[in-house]
Structure 1
Amino acid sequence: MEAVESLCAELEKNPTLGRRAHSAVGSMKLYTTRIEGTATRPALTVTYVYDAPPPEPGLVRVALVSPVHFAGGDTGF
């Protein structure tokens, strides 16, 4: 959870940090990014929505956090 909280703080400063995914509704933009794993935590894929109605700045909302091996990123399976 601490890693996701740190990512959220970074996204507040740079909301387009992740890779842009399919467009969401209206002014919302969908992004994904990855938090590298540690000895005690697997790598995580984080999907978030950046809602940027004028005037910016907008809001960042984390929609999904999943271990990379469940998100199709672990080739060890």
Structure 2
Amino acid sequence: MVFEDGEHCWNGPARSIKVHFKCGGQVAVLAVDEPNRCEYAAIVTTPSVCTEEKAKELEQQLEAMLRDIQPAHDEL
């Protein structure tokens, strides 16, 4: 996804960003870079771009992690 015609850089072009979306269990910005002056690139994870198969795999991983969490010790 490309966003163009942003605010102009001082003495330069209008800002723009190219966002690469990857499948992930949550929305998160993994990286942002400036390959050229006032041109940015970002990698973002989101469940929105996952295939149904990948979404099920992530759900199973989450369930396994939750099972492994030990409950806190309670003196009551």
- TM normalised by structure 2 equals 0.29
Larger Rg belongs to:
2
- TM normalised by structure 1 equals 0.28
